[in-house]
Amino acid sequence: MNRRYVLRRLVHGILILWLVTVTVFMMIHIVPGDPARMMLGDRAREHDVEELRTKLGLDRPLPEQYIVFASGIVVGDFGESIRAQRPVSELVSTALPATLLLLGSSLLLAFTVGIPLGVLAGVHRGGIADKLALVLSLIGQSVAPFWLGLMLISFFSVKLGILPTSGIGGFRHLVLPVLALAPTAMGMVLRVTRVSVIEVMNENYIRTAVSKGMHPITVVWKHCMKNASIPIVTVVGLQIGSLLGGAIVTETVFAWPGIGRLAVNSLIQRDWPVVRTVVLLSAITLVIMNFLIDMTYAAIDKRVKF
C-alpha cells in the first residue's frame, strides 16, 4: 500500500477531527442565552448559575475554554455530568457496550441478509427473485425504525407475549431492537450489491469465464464479487452513520440503555456536557471508520491511490 496515500488520508482525518472538536465545542456557545442558565432552568438562583459558569469555565476567554476542552479530550476527560454529578466518561463507558451490541448485531443481520439477496437479484436480473428483492429493499428503506419498533412490540410482546418489550438482558431482549434497526441498512446493502453485481457481470472477463464452462458459483463469488465489493465497502461506512442515528430512536423506544438513550435523556435534562460528548464520540467514530474504509479501498483496488 502506498505510504504517501496512507499519510495523506491520515492527515485529512486528523484535520477533520480537529474541525469536529471546534464544532462540538461551539455548540454550547451558538445557542442564544447563558448556557449555565439553560442547564439549570429559568428558576435557578443567580448564585447557582454563577457557580455553574465557574465550574464549566464559561467565565474564561473563549480560546482558553477551547484549549481546556481539547486537552481534556486528549486525556479522556470529558467533564462532569450536571445532573448525575458523575464524570461523563463514566456514563458513556457504561452505556457504550449496549450500543455496540445493538449496532454490531444490526450490521451483521443487514449484511448477512442483504449481500446474498443482492447477489441473487443481480445474477437473476429481471426475474422473480430480483423483483422480490427490490420490493424487500424498498420496504426496508421506507419503514421508520421507531414505527417498526412500536409495531413489533405490539405484535410480539403485547399480543403474543413471547418477547420482552424493553430493557437489556439475554438474546430475547435483543431480537426486537435489531429487527427494528436493521431493515434500513439491509435495504441499502441489498440495492448497492445488486447494482454492483449487475455492472460487473457485464464485463468481458466474466463472460469469458462463463464461456469456458466455469461453475456459476465460482464465477460469482470468486471473480465477480472481488470487483463488486468496493461499493459494498462504501455502504459499511454510510450505514454505520445511519445506524447511529437510528439507534437514538430505537434505544428510546425499547428503553435500551445505550448511548442514544443517554443522549436523548441528557438533551431533555439540558445536560450539555453529556450531549456534547456523545456527539463528539459519534463524529470521531465516523471519521475513523471512513479512514479504515479508505485503507480497505487501497488494499482491494490498487488504482485507488492514484
Query: Domains in the chain, start-ordered, CATH in brackets?
Result: 3-74 (no CATH), 97-257 (1.10.3720.10)
Q: What is the pLDDT along the chain (306 residues), one digit of tens a residue?
A: 567 777 888 888 888 888 888 888 887 677 666 667 766 767 777 777 777 777 777 777 878 888 888 888 888 888 888 777 788 888 888 988 998 899 889 989 998 998 889 888 888 888 888 899 889 888 988 888 888 999 999 999 898 888 888 888 888 889 999 999 999 889 888 988 888 888 888 777 777 777 777 777 777 777 777 777 777 777 777 777 777 777 888 888 898 888 888 888 888 777 778 888 888 888 888 888 888 877 777 676 666 655
User: One-letter amino acid identity for 72?
Assistant: G
d(CA 96, CA 245): 15
> pTM above 0.75?
yes
C-alpha cell at position 1: 500500500
- The DSSP H or E segment spanning 74 is helix 62-74
Asked if 194 contacts 131 with a C-beta cutoff of 8 angstroms, the reply is: no
